Amino acid sequence: MYGIEILERDHRNIVHFTDCLEEEALKILQGQEINLDYLRESIRFIRLFCDKYHHQKEEDLLFKRMVFEIGDLAKKLIHNGMLVEHNLARSYVLKLEESLEAYEKSPEDIHRLNILSYIMAYVHLLRDHANRENVAVYPFGENHLSQEGKDWVDEETRKFEEDPQTKALYEEFASFIEENPYRA
């Protein structure tokens, strides 16, 4: 199913990004100065790529159709599981941003600790979340959606992917993205 293949490709890019973020956290732990520019750019990537681009496709297309067609079981899995985790990820990023601001004003150890904590909270959450979707949620959707439902998700995903804004997003964040479908 094209819509799911695209979401899985997003996951590979997101997990690659979490590996880079973890490396940055390790450097901070080992005493390197905090690279505020890199972390702020990471927050922009999280908000525009991981959240707006990827989570929006899940929430508005695949998950929406699963809740509409499959009913209570899908609703429980998505509303009480996946959407709760999307919101938790958003809250960790907000906390990371606040910790960076606090550190910039006053570079104390407590702010360094908070920065490391929220980076790693986000990294672990997103890795586990992507894995849960790959092994449980997406296969559940693919096995229970009607052909019409799958075709609708695929078609809407295609439109989303072909939007010039999507290509611009890949270009803007090329350094964070490993599998770039638009790379020459």
Footprint of Fe ion (CB under 5 A):
58, 82, 133
Tokens of 120: 């790693």
SS3 129: helix
What CA–CA distance (Å, rounded) separates 10 from 149? 21
Shortest distance, position 48 Cβ to Fe ion, whole Å: 15
45-74 in b/e form (b: 16+ CB < 10 A) is: bbeebbbebbbebbeebbbebbbebbeeeb
Shortest distance, position 107 Cβ to Fe ion, whole Å: 34
H-state helical runs in the chain: 2-29, 36-45, 56-57, 63-70, 72-77, 83-105, 109-132, 138-144, 147-162, 164-172
Comparing CB distances to Fe ion, the nearer of 82 and 93 is 82
Comparing CB distances to Fe ion, the nearer of 115 and 123 is 123
Shortest distance, position 10 Cβ to Fe ion, whole Å: 7
Comparing CB distances to Fe ion, the nearer of 34 and 82 is 82
Comparing CB distances to Fe ion, the nearer of 98 and 156 is 156
Residues 6+ apart with CB under 8 A from 177: 13, 16, 17, 49, 170
Shortest distance, position 55 Cβ to Fe ion, whole Å: 6
Shortest distance, position 79 Cβ to Fe ion, whole Å: 12
Comparing CB distances to Fe ion, the nearer of 45 and 103 is 45
Closest CA to 127 of 53, 39, 21: 21
